Amino acid sequence: MESPVTAFTQISDFLEYLSDDFTANEAVAGTLAGLDRNPKFPFLCSRHYADLIKKASEPAALLHEILPTTEELASVPGFVDDPVGDLPAGKAESIIQKYDRRALIVSTATCGARCRFCFRKNYPFQNNPDVARQVSDWLDTHNDIWEVILSGGDPLTLGPGAFRDLAEAIAMHGSVTTLRIHTRLPVMRPDVAMQHFELLRELPARFDCVLVSHVDHPDELDEESQAVFGQLKYCGWTLLNQSVLLKGVNNNADTLEKLSRRLFEQGVLPYYLHQLDHANGVAHFEVNDDEARRLIAEIRTRLPGYLVPKLVREIAGEKSKTPV
């Protein structure tokens, strides 16, 4: 019988679910040896992601994305609480604008899991029940905005009512032609993503719709993510993916090649490969720029151009992402 648990907040329950056989696996032992059972940025992993780990060809890679280790406690110069300059770019509560005529909404603090390398792991999220009205008020006085990005946290974790209110508040503003959603739910909680299907199906009649998923490893993609992407594509969404280049997760050409190809099989084009944002506690994921460029050069020889993501870094205060 299927377990009714949809997410693990206790590391011990999570490890028990993975089973003794699994945790005895030599490949995962390294991560387990460094476990931090009481992290500042609390552990959270969906059952779906735990199931992906169980059937992964490289379980240690996925585990490394989600399990806190004592390496996060290291204080490393240059790794800070607001690495990408979100706070100085705040325009109103929940609204960040860095780029000309395009705005990003921090629509919720909630995600389907807590990725250990998260760039907003130290972000001072406000509990904000009134985000739709705030966005609407702000857009009233900013009628040059043509693209609105729903980010977070994960916007697809909003309840159906709150998500609809937000979409409708944006739709009232004629200047906004493009609605973009940044989400990791197709691989973290495909079931929750599908709860929004009715609204997601309606939106392309009103906006040019872009969904940018966040997938870092080919083992994160399965038939459930395929179902989510397939339905969105059928409804007219443009599907792109961004990944973060992560030591011990995807810093080899075989993994990156497989990721691009599997994304494409599921109807998604690779968009960005991000160099790690320097948030406090993530330094152990860093891949240096030389290695990053070598990896991109290698996969460029293996893949068609449309499957090679752009290698970029976000630099606080710049007017766009910066090519590496």
Ligand X SMILES: *Cc1c(COP(=O)(O)O)cnc(C)c1O
For residue 193, state whether it binds ligand SF4 (rule: CB under 6 A). Answer: no
The single residue among 45, 148, 149, 192 that binds ligand X, judged by CB under 6 A, is 149
* C-beta closer to ligand X: residue 53 or 181: 181
CB 82 within 8 A of CB 45: no
For residue 22, state whether it binds ligand X (rule: CB under 6 A). Answer: no
Minimum separation from the CB atom of position 53 to ligand SF4 (A) = 15
- At residue 8, the 3 state secondary structure works out as strand
The single residue among 98, 180, 184, 321 that binds ligand SF4, judged by CB under 6 A, is 184
CB 146 within 8 A of CB 179: no
The single residue among 47, 98, 258, 274 that binds ligand X, judged by CB under 6 A, is 98
Residue 171: burial class (beta carbons within 10 Å; 0-12, 13-18, 19+)? middle
* C-beta closer to ligand SF4: residue 193 or 253: 193
Euclidean distance between CA atoms 34 and 11, whole angstroms: 13
In this chain, which stretch among 62-70, 91-99, 185-193, 196-204 interacts with ligand X, using CB under 6 A? Answer: 91-99
* C-beta closer to ligand X: residue 173 or 310: 310
Beta strands in 261-313 (DSSP E): 269-274, 310-313
Minimum separation from the CB atom of position 56 to ligand X (A) = 28
For residue 154, state whether it binds ligand SF4 (rule: CB under 6 A). Answer: yes
Euclidean distance between CA atoms 202 and 261, whole angstroms: 29
- At residue 105, the 3 state secondary structure works out as strand
The entry of ligand X, ligand SF4, none near residue 96 (CB within 5 to 8 angstroms by kind) is ligand X
The single residue among 120, 189, 313, 321 that binds ligand SF4, judged by CB under 6 A, is 120
Q: Which long-range contacts does 36-42 make (Cβ < 8 Å, 24+ apart)?
A: 36/68, 36/69, 36/70, 36/72, 36/73, 37/11, 37/12, 37/68, 39/68, 39/72, 40/72, 40/281, 41/68, 41/72, 41/114, 41/116, 41/118, 41/121, 41/122, 41/281, 42/9, 42/114
* C-beta closer to ligand SF4: residue 90 or 304: 90
For residue 114, state whether it binds ligand SF4 (rule: CB under 6 A). Answer: yes
For residue 189, state whether it binds ligand X (rule: CB under 6 A). Answer: no
The single residue among 118, 187, 240, 299 that binds ligand SF4, judged by CB under 6 A, is 118
What are the residues binding ligand SF4 (CB under 6 A)?
A: 111, 114-115, 118, 120, 152-154, 184, 214
